[in-house]
Structure 1
Amino acid sequence: MNAPQDHPAVPDGQDPHPERPETAPHSPDGTGETATASEELSSAETETEHAWDSRRDLYRHSPGIMLGHSARIGGSLVGGDQHGVSGGHVTGDVILGGSKVEYHLGGDDEERSGEIPAAEIEALARNFAYPPAAPDDDTRPDGTAPADGRDPGQPDTPYGPGGPDDAEEPWEPGSPFALALAGLREHRVAILSGPATTGRRAAALMLLRAAGSRTYRSLDPALPPGRLAAELREGCGHLVADFATSPERPLREHHIRALSERLHATGSHLVLVVGPHPVVHGGPGHVPWQPPEPAALLAGHLRNKDLAGRSVDELLALTEVRAVLAHHRPVADTARFAERVAGYARGTVSLAELGAFGHYAAERQVREWFDSADHTLHDKAFLIALATFDEAPYPLTAELSDVLFGLLQRIENPGEPARIPVFGTSSAQRVEQALADRYQEPEETEWGPVLQTKVQFRDRLTAITLLREVWTGHPSARPALVAWLRRLADDPRPVVRTRAAATAAVMAEADLPSAMALLIRSWAADQRLRSRLAAANALALAHHLGAPHVSRILAEWCTAPDHRLRWTAVRSYALVGDAFPREALAALTEAVRGMETRGGPSRGWTEELDDLAQSAAVLLLAAGQEAAADDGWDTAADLWGALPTLARGTTRDFVLRAMVHASGPTDGPAGTGRPLLLDLFARADPKPGTDGAVLRHALAALWRSVLNDPMCTASGKNTLRQWVRGAESDRGAETALAELLPLLAVSVEDHRRLAHLLENLRGEGDPAPPAVALRLRALVSAPYADARTCADSPSR
């Protein structure tokens, strides 16, 4: 950024506003302020970041679903063998702790299996959708694929292309289904791994059917691996769903071989369904199950339903259907959604009900979690933390979930200290239990991007739904949540503070009075700038989520007697004012006029005026960026065009400061890149009569006012110097300056000022101005050659 963080840029450290007192920014001025100078100085923070930096951090650290700035759906999943025991297939001998010996005394008369009706399997087969092959499975080393999708060096298999039943088999060679079926036919036993919500049980039953089974039995998943063989029956397809493996209970090679031997002898088959990170020692290994895309799953469920003459493709093309399918959700939810889509086709379900299914499914899942006795308080604290830190680094989520757990524990069991398992459930299991995914993505820091392992709910609606549910559906948790969020808002890490504000915004959208009373207003009235920024962020995000009356709250606070509420409202306008720009600019202007009614210039007056100017600058830049992106310049032209008329009377200083503040932010990190204000000028249409031309002339008029104002001219000239230096490596910026500078040289005095600036522009150790300055100097001089000759003539 070209300008300092809290005041306009000036050369040699000179203050363009010499009346600015070097005291606490909000000292008493006889206007009824409640804070004292000692209060402000006792705070660890006496300065705050520039309003543009606040806006940048808000967009950088907020969940993507709130502001729409993040299109990432997961990145590259972190899984497989990258994370040792928690990451996937484990080979070799792993011994943790002492050995465990099981004694079985007496007989076991408990029934450990039950029949699965064949009719249920056939009904399932009618709707089952087979996943496609992995993209690289059928690719040769040279990058080409054989004509039949199979490596010619491999022999034909009974289930692949060229086999006797190939025409009847709907699965693709190389797909997870085909790979698992190959193992099942060869060894009579297959291990299918995957998350619980991916339809893995249905896939296991389809494997048994494809292998030739006609009778089916479900075995007790609590059976030890060594006891499974004793439960197998002749000529039957066996399923063990949700079979748990762990370092203490691994599935070893001798278990698998014993099962294979028994299954061959009885003419049977067995599919073991395990989690996504099984502990398997040796043997044929496991096949990871990945379901088809949601659209293929939905099509499979619709193809045998009464659709009243509507085609499946027509229904899949509906906007509401595409919106629901855009979020990854459990396969069972897709089956439920198929019933709604079929109902819509028959006219019994409205389009609005169809589009609301995603929210219904997310609410159903969240309530299951909170009502489940299988989820401990520690698990539920992790879910709440994950909802707060969706798309954030996993270690951060885990760390702060333990803090929340301690606070919840004091409510549920006040007499017992919180016992946090240091080495309890693995991160992979916790993430899977939350129906989330891990992925790697760079995280922006003040030192540059750092690769982090992040976590995100598979269903993008889960996070907000969960936070709403815990706030409105479980009021007993509110004291812990409020204490937790207050602690997060005071954290030194920007992402933590921003997520605290984002969570408060969700709560404000769900229950505005409670969220304002318990969180946001107390932050806004805090003497610490960090807390007030949390309130501003919360109000901005709450407005984006659709919370009512945010603009009214800001308008009231902007002229409130308490300077802390005024600061919060002013900073909020910088963050969210582009959503209602005309109203926001009018409120800021009215706040400037209200400053004089409180007594005029005094201690703290300059700082407050600078805060107002910063917010106006950010508001105007944001409106300009939106205009450039959407190619609709009318709003930006109206806003910038109104400023020259305000640059007189009581609001003149405010407008000129706003112009100087707007000249600082750039389109790159840490002050690098092209200045946004110059880029706005360059992108506006110069054709006379257009909104772009109006905006350009307004910017030029404001620049002339800045350069001709005794208090701001030093800041304006310093900014122009930086712009010219930046144009050395940016031809687009040079072109924009070549069009702007002649508009600034209206009078002979204007010309002399700009010419002197360009002629004397020097870098450290440079004997002459840079070439770009001399080229711009020639452009500025041309219109005034005759005027300069007249000024120097003797008759003059």
Structure 2
Amino acid sequence: MADEAPPPTVGAAGTGAGTADGDAPSRGVGSGVLNLGAVSTTNELLRAAQATMGAYAFNRGTVAGRDVTVHYHGAEAKAPELLRRLGPDSADAVRAAFVPPEGFAELSRLVGGVHVVLLRATPREGADTAALRLLLDLGAGPMYRLDPRRPLADLAVESLEAAAGYLLSGLSDAAVRSLTCLDVDGLEARLRPLGSRLVIIVPVGATLADQGLRGYVRTLGASPAAADVLTAHLRWRLRSAVAAEELLRRAEVAVAVREFLQGEPSCRDVADLARLLAEAHGTGGGAVDVAWVLDAMRQRAAEHFDAWFDRLDDLPLRCTAVALALFNGLPFEIVNYAAARLRSRLDDPAAMRTTDTGIRLVNPLAPRPDPFRETRAVRLRRLRARITHTTLPSRYGDTPAQVMSYDDAEYGPAVINRVWDEYDDVRPALVDWFRELGGDPSEQVRTWVATAVGLLATRAFEYLLNAVIEPWARSGAKGQREAAAIALGVPASVGGLTEQVRRVVRAWSTPDDEDDDAAELRATAARVYGSGLGPSAPHQALAGLEYLADSPDNDVANAIGLSLAELIDWDDKLAAAVLTVIVRWLGDRRYPERITNGHIAFLRIALDVTRKAEAVGEDDDTLRWPLLLYFAETRPELWPTIAGLWHATLNGPIFQDAQWALSSWAVTVEPDRRSCEAMGRLAGAIARDIRTRKILLQLAHDWTTGRNPEPTPRVAASVIQALSETK
């Protein structure tokens, strides 16, 4: 069969390698990939990671703790006051600007006959304001807040007023669990003769241990739309509905408000925005300094963020907060696992333990925390996070997932920045954690952690290069090298360190016989040209990849192919330039390694880049096409080159890999009539000689006789028909 074939040609662009000699190839892309689109999937994950973290990465947030003088005095701390009376302004705001949540009128009717209400409510949705309005509607005169740090038993009869309203919110989970029916019954008995009422806010997810409390529990309905809350507060503060509407119609205000509301702010945040807009309106002489308003909101958000993080009072919860910051929007299981790994680095429960009962520790270890001490719902509330049921892309297609994310998207970057900038003793463990997660089996995990490392490298480039990125780059594991390439891509593309990254890549690209990891470094350098430097400077990337293309190492060859595929996936206008480079390598007999590497690169592109189908019909239910097949159909100028490269590779040194790749195409396109017909037309163009035609006919036969994991009779019939017409 080898005697029948002339030297294979590569389209109109050049010549390819010699014919196959029948021996099994020692190099190539492996035994075939039957799930196409690895590069396309990776780039989808990378874009998602950058969207999650990149938009806020360079906003350092607060730097609380610097330039702050703390005075310590010897006076004994006083116990917090049990009651604090609310001023008349609070009641005025509740009366004038309150927007009722869903079912509020019915709630008022239901609680009219009781004097203690346990109001279940979702945090950040205006529960305190709703409770105050409930008290006002039920006839409360003076109103008081109870300090959540003091036990309810301290509320003595002599401290209560007639016809007063009392609000207790901000209870810890332990305080909620400690509420008993006996305590609440006693309060009901004390308040009823006075005509006074108490509302206790119980967060959704908090556990009431005493089932006798059920009769006191009511649930607050869904909160009103944030835009309605903003309008109501502006009307009250400006004392005019017309003025409020005119203010909101101003172009600069409308833009700022729209962006602010997209962040799903709390009701309190919306009320604060209304206050600041009213102040700016009143002092601006008709103009509104929107920049001042937004800056004030950012400062307030930073203060609230610092206070929230400081209230995370145990290590497991803080580790979860950091893990969620890193993997915001990924499955809960990933966040939970990463949090456990970080905690193990910060607090090893096995440290200093002994099984020798005769040894006594001078300072006994604290007992391990009870793993059942709180539910996931409680942790989510304390973290200001949520679980959403959705689907996520994976190597094997979209899969269902329960993703975990912060309610406020800015919390993720803010947590990472705060921990990195403010907790010096944590940073070494954080770096070790990053390095470990860069080798995780999950591509999602590696992509997210590499992006975070890259963002931090814009501020600590040399430190993270030496501590995390280069160890990844020297790894024998492909996943860690991919993580290094992604991490370097961030400072190269958005961090203003493009030239520094180029110098690193040039150093890694240079062969060094004395460096045991030289091949791994060259493979990583090749990947940086695709994922990091390529999108902004594709022609320089092509030159760098061509310099590496004479490497005899298989990892380097596959890295080159992946980067070329990635360049096309980022911008398909680069297809002609990339394929031309491969054609040049196949024709350059001065460098035999480039010929083999050119074949590998072509097959990587064929396998790893896909395109979504533009239409789906009754017989056309595939979701993705191999990109090169799509180009062969839609870009006539690429048709001869794509057909020629397939011809050369099927007859080249890694012909078995080429057959596997074409078989992978068959499995992918089988459900779609259009792509089956397109593959038949392409096969007719590939079969330029008797030998190649026989190879294709044998493959088509194998596709229907169990030689493929899935039979593909439709594409086989299309290929056979096309070959019979071109015989």
TM-score (norm 1): 0.67
Alpha carbons of structure 1 residues 278 and 468: separation in structure 2 relative to 1, 3 Å? same
Greater CA drift, 423-432 or 220-229: 220-229
Counterpart-to-counterpart distance in 2, 1:543 and 1:295: 40
1:34 counterpart residue number: none
Residues 523-543 of structure 1: CA distance to partner in whole angstroms, max 9, x if unpaired?
A: 323455454333223234555
Contact 1:681–1:736 under 8 Å retained in 2 = no
Alpha carbons of structure 1 residues 432 and 679: separation in structure 2 relative to 1, 3 Å? farther
2:564 counterpart residue number: 616
Residues 655-682 of structure 1: CA distance to partner in whole angstroms, max 9, x if unpaired?
A: 332112222247699xx97552355326
Matched, 1:571 2:509: no
Q: Deviation of residue 558 (structure 1)?
A: 5.4
Counterpart-to-counterpart distance in 1, 2:417 and 2:442: 25
Q: Deviation of residue 467 (structure 1)?
A: 0.7
Counterpart-to-counterpart distance in 1, 2:257 and 2:406: 20
Contact 1:679–1:736 under 8 Å retained in 2 = yes
1:297 counterpart residue number: 229
User: Which of 110, 116, 127 is 2:86 aligned to?
Assistant: 116
Contact 1:63–1:390 under 8 Å retained in 2 = no
Matched, 1:483 2:432: yes
2:420 counterpart residue number: 471
1:265 counterpart residue number: 193
Question: Amino acid of the residue matched to residue 209 of structure 1?
Answer: L
Counterpart-to-counterpart distance in 2, 1:116 and 1:445: 54
Alignment of 1:357-372 (within 5 A): 363-369=302-308, 372=310
Question: Amino acid of the residue matched to residue 434 of structure 1?
Answer: L
User: Which of 25, 50, 56 is 2:41 aligned to?
Assistant: 56
1:128 counterpart residue number: 98
Counterpart-to-counterpart distance in 2, 1:765 and 1:489: 39
Matched, 1:386 2:324: yes
TM-score (norm 2): 0.73
Alpha carbons of structure 1 residues 465 and 49: separation in structure 2 relative to 1, 3 Å? farther
- Tell me the secondary structure at the aligned position of residue 200 of structure 2: strand
Contact 2:162–2:194 under 8 Å retained in 1 = yes
Counterpart-to-counterpart distance in 2, 1:272 and 1:248: 10
Counterpart-to-counterpart distance in 2, 1:201 and 1:702: 69
Contact 2:173–2:207 under 8 Å retained in 1 = yes
1:204 counterpart residue number: 131
Alpha carbons of structure 1 residues 286 and 697: separation in structure 2 relative to 1, 3 Å? farther
Question: Amino acid of the residue matched to residue 237 of structure 1?
Answer: G
Counterpart-to-counterpart distance in 2, 1:374 and 1:713: 59
Q: Deviation of residue 553 (structure 1)?
A: 5.1
Contact 1:236–1:267 under 8 Å retained in 2 = yes
- Tell me the secondary structure at the aligned position of residue 286 of structure 1: strand
Counterpart-to-counterpart distance in 1, 2:304 and 2:111: 34
Question: Amino acid of the residue matched to residue 763 of structure 1?
Answer: T
1:681 counterpart residue number: 631
Q: State the number of aligned residues.
A: 636
2:214 counterpart residue number: 282
Q: Which residues of structure 2 form unaligned runs of 5+? A: 1-19, 55-78, 353-362, 512-517, 613-621
Counterpart-to-counterpart distance in 2, 1:467 and 1:263: 48
Contact 2:568–2:574 under 8 Å retained in 1 = no
Q: Deviation of residue 751 (structure 1)?
A: 7.9
Q: Deviation of residue 327 (structure 1)?
A: 1.9
Q: Deviation of residue 459 (structure 1)?
A: 0.6
User: Which of 153, 164, 168 is 1:236 aligned to?
Assistant: 164
- Tell me the secondary structure at the aligned position of residue 120 of structure 1: helix
Question: Amino acid of the residue matched to residue 422 of structure 1?
Answer: D
Alignment of 1:746-761 (within 5 A): 747=688, 752-753=693-694, 756-757=697-698, 760-761=701-702
Alignment of 1:4-19 (within 5 A): 17-18=25-26
Contact 1:613–1:661 under 8 Å retained in 2 = yes
- Tell me the secondary structure at the aligned position of residue 130 of structure 1: coil
Contact 2:41–2:395 under 8 Å retained in 1 = no
Alpha carbons of structure 1 residues 751 and 363: separation in structure 2 relative to 1, 3 Å? same
Counterpart-to-counterpart distance in 1, 2:530 and 2:118: 56
Q: Sequence identity of aligned pairs in percent?
A: 22
- Tell me the secondary structure at the aligned position of residue 265 of structure 2: coil
Alignment of 1:491-570 (within 5 A): 491-492=440-441, 494-540=443-489, 546=495, 548-549=497-498, 552=502, 555-557=505-507, 559-561=509-511, 562-570=518-526
User: Which of 694, 704, 708 is 1:763 aligned to?
Assistant: 704
2:605 counterpart residue number: 662
Q: Deviation of residue 462 (structure 1)?
A: 0.9
Counterpart-to-counterpart distance in 1, 2:307 and 2:712: 70
1:217 counterpart residue number: 144
Alpha carbons of structure 1 residues 606 and 529: separation in structure 2 relative to 1, 3 Å? closer
Counterpart-to-counterpart distance in 2, 1:449 and 1:427: 26
Matched, 1:737 2:679: yes
1:159 counterpart residue number: none
Contact 2:36–2:664 under 8 Å retained in 1 = no
Q: Deviation of residue 734 (structure 1)?
A: 1.5
Residues 415-452 of structure 1: CA distance to partner in whole angstroms, max 9, x if unpaired?
A: 99686523344433332222112344567788998866
Contact 1:180–1:191 under 8 Å retained in 2 = no
Alpha carbons of structure 1 residues 214 and 429: separation in structure 2 relative to 1, 3 Å? same
Question: Amino acid of the residue matched to residue 560 of structure 2?
Answer: L
2:408 counterpart residue number: 459
Contact 2:562–2:608 under 8 Å retained in 1 = no
Q: Deviation of residue 336 (structure 1)?
A: 3.3
Question: Amino acid of the residue matched to residue 601 of structure 2?
Answer: A
- Tell me the secondary structure at the aligned position of residue 469 of structure 2: helix
User: Which of 93, 111, 116 is 1:184 aligned to?
Assistant: 111
2:587 counterpart residue number: 648
Matched, 1:694 2:637: yes
User: Which of 626, 643, 649 is 1:706 aligned to?
Assistant: 649
Q: Deviation of residue 463 (structure 1)?
A: 0.8
Contact 1:620–1:640 under 8 Å retained in 2 = no
Counterpart-to-counterpart distance in 2, 1:418 and 1:15: 66
Q: Deviation of residue 190 (structure 1)?
A: 2.5
- Tell me the secondary structure at the aligned position of residue 41 of structure 2: helix
Counterpart-to-counterpart distance in 2, 1:403 and 1:416: 24
User: Which of 61, 66, 72 is 2:50 aligned to?
Assistant: 66
Q: Which residues of structure 1 form unaligned runs of 5+? A: 1-11, 26-47, 71-108, 134-173, 596-600, 625-633, 685-691, 789-796
2:6 counterpart residue number: none
1:437 counterpart residue number: 386
Counterpart-to-counterpart distance in 2, 1:58 and 1:472: 30
Counterpart-to-counterpart distance in 2, 1:128 and 1:443: 39
Question: Amino acid of the residue matched to residue 369 of structure 2?
Answer: P
Alpha carbons of structure 1 residues 648 and 558: separation in structure 2 relative to 1, 3 Å? farther
2:3 counterpart residue number: none
RMSD between aligned residues: 4.7
2:268 counterpart residue number: 332
